[in-house]
Amino acid sequence: MANKGEIPGGAQVDRMADNTSNKEAVDPFFADNHLFVPVADHQWPIVYRKEYNMGFLGLEKLHPFDSGKWGKIFNILKARSMVTDDTIVIPEEATEKDLLVVHVQSYLDSLKWSYAVAGITEVPPVALLPNFIVQRKVLKPLRYQTGGTILAAKLAVDRGWSLNIGGGFHHCSSARGGGFCAYADISLGITFLLEMKLIRKAMIVDLDAHQGNGHERDFIQMQDKVYILDVYNRGIYPHDGYAKRGITRKVELEHYTKDEQYLPLVRRHLGEAVAEFRPDIVFYNAGTDCLVGDPLGALSVSPEGIIQRDEMVFRWAREEHSIPIVMVTSGGYQQKTAQIIADSILNLWHKRLIDCQAAEDHIKRAR
């Protein structure tokens, strides 16, 4: 991402500007943005809508990604009486103007060609579909999830934590997509907060099995503002050497790394990262493709290890350092990942690392 970028209306904004100015200095486009929907006290800072889920003529089955996992996560949380339909926050779709805060116009224009989307989603037959179908069945759900991450970013500032049940498209940068990532939702969430003067510095903790080359490219010249801790399998996609220059703390894993090596490494590097850089918010990219048996992640972390990892990150951010944290769910290429993500969220709730007493009271009264 360049130091200066164009926002809707043609105004130039300094990406490196000091964010200590008062609220009156915030551009109305950000301050009054449609993505920041009203949120009631009895709503969890958990963002989801059913339109996150994808289905396009069965072609989604040609990719190992579970394109309905977000709904499965929500339904498990609902079945366990943690949430109800009226106690979560329903996001709006990110518009082209919203996306242009980070993305370049030429990239967004390229998504109007189905073959380009086929390359990003790694489902070649998508190239044969009319683009209006691709927009509705593939890209629109991703735009809802992107709007969800931007909304969750502000919710974390307001509430101390938040969770977007979708999002985490960490292979997408301002100018290119890939790896099933069409929009740079993490970069957008951070940039919105910077432009709104709500934060001065952010940390990305990327624990997806793959290198987060999208946000690394976006913030490669902003390392005084955005610190990136990336723990990934060095032997798999995307092998982006240029983007690695954007990583502040790089932890490269070997194939089939297990809990015994993985969890202590994450713990140590979290501690060292916060000693080097004190952020105003943490963006936690909580991919589950490090799970043993994942066909793309090629690591060997157990389901219990993923639950322990997420607890470790939330405890580190919330209890040990009082830093707001927003979690996105990112990658994971097995049918059982939805259950593991839901179990991890439930564990955070049971440990009171996430809570919303007003939501819990509301649910009890409604029974």
Helix residue spans in 16-59 (DSSP H): 28-31
Per residue in 135-176, pLDDT tens?
Answer: 999 999 999 999 999 999 999 999 999 999 999 999 999 999
Percent share of the chain, pLDDT over 90: 87
Per residue in 297-354, pLDDT tens?
Answer: 999 999 999 999 999 999 999 999 999 999 999 999 999 999 999 999 999 999 999 9
Mean pLDDT over each residue of the chain, to the nearest integer: 92
The residue type at 28: P
Please check whether residue 138 is in contact with residue 123, taking contact to mean a CB–CB distance below 8 angstroms.
no
- Alpha-carbon span 232 to 164, nearest angstrom: 22
The pLDDT, as a whole number, for residue 24 is 56
CA 185 centroid distance within chain:
6
- Strands 161-164 and 325-328 come out as parallel
Q: Has 171 been annotated as catalytic?
A: yes
Please check whether residue 63 is in contact with residue 138, taking contact to mean a CB–CB distance below 8 angstroms.
no
Please state whether 9 falls in left (phi above 0), alpha (psi between -120 and 50) or beta.
left
The residue type at 255: H
The pLDDT, as a whole number, for residue 366 is 92
Tokens of 73: 């996560």
Q: Which one of the listed residues 42, 103, 171, 215 is annotated catalytic?
A: 171
pLDDT band at 75 (very low <50, low <70, confident <90, very high): very high
Taking alpha carbons only, the member of 267, 271, 268, 334 closest to residue 305 is 267
First to last CA, the chain: 49
Residues paired with 12 in a beta bridge: 6
- Alpha-carbon span 158 to 153, nearest angstrom: 9
Q: Tell me: pLDDT of 22 over 80.
A: no
Q: Tell me: pLDDT of 5 over 60.
A: no
Phi, psi of 12 (to 5 degrees): -95, 135
